[in-house]
Amino acid sequence: MTSLDLRSFVFLAALQCVVMGTVLLGLRNNAHVPIPGPRHWGVAPLLALVSTIVYGLNGELLSVTVGNGFLMGATLALLAGTKHFLGRPWRWRPWLTLMAVCLWSLIAFTVIWPDYRARMLIFGMSMAVICAAHTRTLALYSRGLPSRLMLAAMGWQTFVLLARALSTYWIDSPSTGRFDGGSLFQAIYIGTYSFSILVVLVGAQLMVNERVREKFEYLATHDDLTGVLNRRAIVRQIDQEHQRWLNEGRGYALMLLDLDLFKRINDTFGHQVGDQTLIRVTKALTQGLRNTDSLGRYGGEEFIALLPDTDMSAALSLAERLRKMVEQMPRSGDEPACTVSIGLTVVQGGEKTPGAVLLRADRALYKAKDAGRNLVAIVR
């Protein structure tokens, strides 16, 4: 393998990585949903390309400082992207401190005590620390094939960096060149980084695509304002629960909830306060329901709750608890008081579709409204 071959391989690999990084930046800009991480992932190959270009220039000190600095920056950007994507805390300061100490040490062993082996040991160990942190983050907090692909690449990269750094005093001399094509170990070391960053970017793109799909699926089934199921999604769940009732005979209850005098809140305090009231009520209802229950926004200020495997007695007790929770919601500032009327029913034998159940729940809600509001009414 010649020196030109190794330089060409690294440069072509860097160009491939830049293409992947550009795709990641494009996904971030066109996703229409906030996804943390792709910006850092997309910048990383650009930094790596600058590093590759600097490495190809003449000047040992230039490559030691600027080239290695950009390479460490690319590796840190990959780690920062993964941390942000997985929702883990990230601080630049300790890593930039490591980078500064590493680069100053490299300058010392270039200008004051010229020794390639010392530089290889310091830089290899510093890079291994970054890659090991990346590997650990992926191992602890990520799931799925794309993340396992990234985990394998970063784990292998960490191993190669450690092996190369610790073996430098056996296989190198003080004057070894950074693109020494005669060294198999050097070729593996340089080639591994180029391949690893490409694999990491492929995994990152797959993870972003999966996150975008999940985000759009969520938006398609949930209400924008309150975050609970939208009308289509909750009706679909009711249909499925009714089918289970027909197949297995396991009953369910339906609860229609309507905020009392909500128009007055909007007219008096404004629609923004009205929206905040809907959000507060939704939080109270969500906290009061069981894990097996489902809550959806049926329209405007009206909500519907599906209570699987629930008879009238249990449903009535739960409905009364929800009513009290809304009535006793803590308020701050000028937030208006709010109450809720609840109509309740359970599925009856012989009902082929949930339409009749929904109709009874609606009748029960009007019954609660007519009786003075802030009440629970039932229709059997």
Q: Cite the active site residues.
A: 301
| Alpha-carbon gap, residue 89 to 138, rounded angstroms | 14
Strand bridging mode 376-378 / 340-346: parallel
- Contact partners, residue 277, CB within 8 Å, separation at least 6: 259, 262, 265, 335, 336, 338
* Nearest CA among 84, 7, 5, 4 for reference residue 44: 84
Q: Residue 57 is encoded by which pair of tokens?
A: 């220039």
Angle between helix 92-107 and helix 68-85 axes, rounded to 10 deg: 160
Which helix (H) or strand (E) is 155 found in, with range? helix 145-166
Provide the 8-state DSSP code for 66. Answer: I
Q: How many CB atoms lie within 10 A of CB 256?
A: 24
Contact criterion met (CB below 8 Å) for 160 and 172: no
| Alpha-carbon gap, residue 243 to 230, rounded angstroms | 20
**Residue position matching structure tokens 């191993």:** 159
Q: Residue 204 is encoded by which pair of tokens?
A: 């990152």
DSSP bridge pairs for 295? 305
Residue 26 CA, chain-centre distance (Å), reads 18
